[in-house]
Structures are given as structure tokens and as C-alpha cells.
Chains A and B, each alone.
Chain A
Amino acid sequence: MKRVCSVISIMLVAYVCMGCAVFGRGKDFTPFDENSLNQVTTGTTSAGEVTRLFGPPNKVVKLSNGNAYVYERSIEKATGLWLVVLSFGNWDKQYDRIVFFINNDDVVTHFGSSFNAETASYAMPF
């Protein structure tokens, strides 16, 4: 009888644990180095130096008095959990972005940056 109880108990534990979990990670990668921002000085650094330091921009926006170079990359993390009648899904996507404002003389006038890609996390939807 004791052995039967043990077998049934193990089967019950296996049943309760039955289900699926999935963890996914995606990366939209652009190889720029955030430390290179230390080498950028507004009013001095040229558009050519920006592309030498950061590579080709992901996007160029034409403005009335120059251009903006936009660099962007992202990390996304997905979590899924399927239980017997319940399922949960969570998807978190965060970005690293740098934008340089370049005037008609090809000199950087302003720049801004956000580095949040590493804050993307695996989580439940509540």
C-alpha cells in the first residue's frame, strides 16, 4: 500500500508540474559603443567623425537646418507559461538610442542618448 501511495504521489506531482514554459530573447543589434560618446563635442565634432565612431546611422532625418543621425538597437525578452487551463505571456522590448543633430556645416550641434536595452526583463504579465 505504501508503495502504491508513493507511485500515485509521484504521478500527482508530475501532473501538477505538467505544462510548458518558454523564454525567448531577441536582439536587434547595431555595433555602436556608448563610451565613444565621450569623444563627441558639440560645436566641434563633424558628421564624418560621428560615422567613423558609430558607423552608419540606422536612420537619417532631414531637418530644415541640417540632418539628424539616429542610432538604435534593442533587446526583447519574452516569457510564456502554459498551465492546464491558464496561460500567461509577457513581452518586454527596450532600446538603446543615440541621436545627433548636425547642422548644414556638417557639425554636431546637439546630441541625446538613452541606454535602456539591458533593462528588458523576463516577467509575468501582472
Chain B
Amino acid sequence: MRCRFNSIIWLTAALLIVQAMSGCVSLQFGKIQEGVDVLPPPEEFLRKKTSLQEVLSNYGAPTDLVDMNGDFALHFRRALYRGMNVSIGIPLKNALLPSPSVGTDGNLLRYDTVVFIFTADGVLKDMKYEKGTGRSLWEDYW
């Protein structure tokens, strides 16, 4: 029983230290996702052959629809944001101002995007795909 009591005392002390540090160190992680996965265009999609209806059947309704002075573009997009914040400081606000602190944060918003450009009569003129979320998080950030 004595041993168990000592363990609890030590654990309490450790938690009190963490509590005391809670104003000093903080880590925050965030993620924002908007839209579903955007797949690359299938191989059967060909310029000057594929119709508007084929693209709509494969991809559904677009995120954006833009008139391009005769032609028009369908834009399918998924946005993915990741953020992280680390801050280290000494909370002396009650005793001394200013309180010394160091903080850093990183935020990266990336997009998976495919755009289809059609002629006025609904024939695929051009397309472009990019999977932003498949790239290296670290390299993209720096």
C-alpha cells in the first residue's frame, strides 16, 4: 500500500508540473477539408471527342462553371488545409509584462483540381489535372 501511495504522489507531482507548464508549451494541429476526392481523367477522355455529358456522368456537378467568351470550363476541386502551431513561453502576464515567448506555426492549403474546357457546343477542348495533396507536404511548404 505504501508503494502504491508513493506512486500516486509521484504521478500527482508529474501532473502538477504539466499543469504548470500548460501555459508555457502548446501544440495545435488543424485540418480543413472541402469537397471530395478528385480523380484524374480516365484515358478514354479525348480532346475533340469527349462530350459534356460524358464528363458530367463521370464527375457529377462541377465546383465552378465559368464562361470563357464562347468556350466554357468546368472546374472540379477539393481543398485540403493542414496547420500546426507550436508555442513556448513563460506566462508572466500577471507579474511582469511583457512575457517572453517563442512561437511558430505552419499552414499549407493544397488543391486537387481538374479543369475541363469545352467548346460552345459541348465538345472537350482541353483538360488539366493536378493532385496537390499527393505532393510532399514538407517540400510544398518550403
Contacts and interface: CB of A to CB of B under 8 A. Distances in A.
A63 B53 contact: no
A113 B31 contact: no
Contacts of A94: 34-36
Contacts of B56: 99, 110-112
B61 A84 contact: no
B11 interface: yes
A1 B5 contact: yes
Contact of A97 (B1, B30, B55, B60): B60
A89 B28 contact: yes
A12 B30 contact: no
Given A94-B35, A110-B52, A87 B26 contact: yes
Contact of A88 (B25, B29, B60, B70): B29
Given A98-B61, A99-B61, A15 B35 contact: no
A116 B36 contact: yes
Contacts of A101: 52, 122
B91 interface: no
B121 interface: yes
Contacts of B69: 64
Contacts of B67: 61-64
Interface residues of B, number: 44
Given A62-B67, A125-B29, A85 B52 contact: no
Interface in B42-63: 52-53, 55-57, 59-63
Interface string A97-113: 11101000000011111
A29 interface: no
B114 to A, nearest CB: 13
A8 interface: yes
Contacts of A51: none
Interface in A59-103: 61-65, 68, 70, 84-95, 97-99, 101
A11 B36 CA distance: 44
B60 A112 contact: yes
A119 interface: yes
Nearest to A65: B120
Interface of A: 1-2, 4-5, 8-9, 11-12, 15-16, 42, 61-65, 68, 70, 84-95, 97-99, 101, 109-114, 116, 119, 125-126
